[in-house]
Amino acid sequence: MWKHISVSRIFDSLAMVLSGPPALAFAPAISLAAYWIGGERALVVVALTLPLVFAAVSTAHKASNREKDGNGLLPLDRFAAQMETLFAENQRTGHEASCMIVELDGFSECLDLHGNAAGNVMADQFRSRVLSVIRSHDIATGLDQGKIAIGLHAAQNLDLEACIQMSGRIQAAVDEPIMLNGTSVYMSCSIGFCLQSTLPDITFAEWIDAANAALAEAQRNGPATIRAFSSETQRRARVRANLRNEFIAALDSGEIRPWFQPQISTDTGHVTGFEALARWEHPQKGVLGPPVFLPFAEQADLMERLGQVMRHHAFAAMRQWNRAGVVVPRIGVNFSSEELRDPALIDRLKWELDQNDLTPDRLTVEILETVFSRRPDDVITRNVISMSKLGCCIDLDDFGTGHASIASIKRFDVSRIKIDRSFVAKADRDASQQQLVSAILTMAERLNVETLAEGVETQGEHALMAQLGCDHVQGFEIGKPMPFEKTLDWMAAHQNKLNGMPKIGRQARP
């Protein structure tokens, strides 16, 4: 992609010299040489033509910097050639330059929510706003619909502070709201950049890779963030690369497996199921949670593989609970968007259940609310409805954090709503929280949908959920996620505790 283009480099080097301030230094020498060789007539000719030559080259150079693709961005190959020229020239002169990458935050989610037409409007506005901020002799190209690479040409005052200031001006321009489908939508962007002096002895391809690494670090620290590439960025990138490779190996070695968190009935206190939560039992780093390794799985397109591993271990746990004679009605397994887009998912799921002698009603399919709130996807819709018809329980996870409509709850035949922990936390002490939970429970009752409160961490929250009519609870107050080996002991201890305690659910009310 970043192939060397010698002709372009020669042209760009010549154009860069003749179109900039250094060219003025040659004008007196050229005029004097013309007078010495040809006399006054030659001097007049040179004096008249030299400005025209400089103007023509400058115009051609600026035009090449904006070879129009309809939006003022260079084609990628032309951008690469000019950046290689800039890189080589600065290595010779010792001047400073910078490679900067700007990406819209949450652009893919916007496409899902608003559609491609609105996404095109956002991308056009994004491009025009970025180009309005950078200098006329800087160059830019589109890496993706919502992602732009910028080459900041050499300047006397181009340093870390200047790049941060430029990044701030870009963000301020991008932040202005735009109208989409009659509503104001606010955009933001993350920026990563790498000064050439930070990595003076590398190729251009490594230069832009460094800017990408800085961008990735910015995005990990939240939206609208700016990061410069440094040796520490490089070290962290190597650590993440090593972890990514270890993750791939861990899927095959069995280091990644589910830990199980119990769910109980608020009426009876009995276990109504377990949720299988992915954990990486790293031999050196200890137990790692999903926030550490899920980004690796998504980047490496391993979400389907992770889902298959999780179901394998979860179904094996169900078999062992059955053999031990304990009652676990259901096991909850999370399904990612990537898995739900697989046309062969239903056939594979039937085979996995059959291999483990399990009926579909023993499986709870947990799907994030954001999957339901996105633009309709025929494959996802068909798979979810097919799993429901198969007999699986469909759980709408983290309810209240997205924008799932009542129509989508009915369309996907949702069996149970899982109320997000942000609504449950301190609900026994916060009247507004309690009102929100009550509203969700009332809606669920009208829709004839079961409810489960997540993140129940205190007895007060547990008691309140039961009194308000929530069907099931899950959280640290009930039990923390645990490896399979500890589940049998936990269930035995829970049953012993249950036998000696009064019921706190709706059956206990007068």
CB-CB contact of 282 with 288 (8 Å): yes
Q: How far apart are CA 341 and CA 110, in angstroms?
A: 19
Which pLDDT score, from 0 to 100, does residue 9 have? 43
Query: Position of tokens 């480099």?
Result: 9
- The pTM assigned to this predicted structure is 0.64
CA dist 330 and 352 (Å) reads: 15
Kindly state the tokens that stand for 165: 């200031």
Distance, CA of 308 to CA of 5 (rounded, Å) = 46
Residue 300 Cα to chain centre, angstroms:
13
How many Å separate Cα 257 from the centre of its chain? 23
pLDDT for residue 357: 93
Q: C-alpha angle 151/155/157, rounded to 5°?
A: 115
Q: pLDDT truncated to tens, each residue of the chain (510 aa)?
A: 443 334 444 444 445 444 454 555 556 656 666 656 766 666 666 566 666 665 665 555 555 544 544 567 888 888 888 888 888 887 777 788 889 999 998 887 777 667 778 888 888 999 999 999 998 888 999 988 889 999 988 766 788 888 899 999 999 999 888 887 677 778 899 999 998 888 777 777 888 888 988 998 888 887 889 999 887 877 777 777 777 788 888 888 889 999 999 999 999 999 999 999 999 998 888 999 998 888 878 877 788 899 999 999 999 999 999 999 999 999 999 998 889 888 899 999 999 999 999 999 999 999 887 676 555 567 888 899 999 999 999 998 877 665 556 777 887 889 999 998 888 988 888 888 899 999 999 999 999 999 999 999 999 999 999 999 999 999 999 999 999 999 999 999 999 988 766 655 455 444
- Give the CA dihedral 32, 36, 41, 46, nearest 10 degrees: -30
Give the separation between CA 470 and CA 272, rounded to whole angstroms: 13
pLDDT of residue 65: 46
Quote the tokens at residue 287.
């137990």
Q: Give the pLDDT of residue 332.
A: 96
260: tokens are 């199980």
DSSP notation for 118-150: HHHHHHHHHHHHHHHHS-TT-EEEEEETTEEEE
- Closest to 274 (Cα-Cα) out of 406, 153, 395, 157: 395
Nearest to residue 147, comparing CAs of 167, 127, 177?
127
Q: What DSSP assignment string belongs to 184-209? A: EE---EEEEEEEGGGSTTS-HHHHHH
Tokens representing residue 174 in the block: 């991008």
Integer CA distances (angstroms), 275 to 334, 391, 483, 487, in order: 8, 18, 12, 12
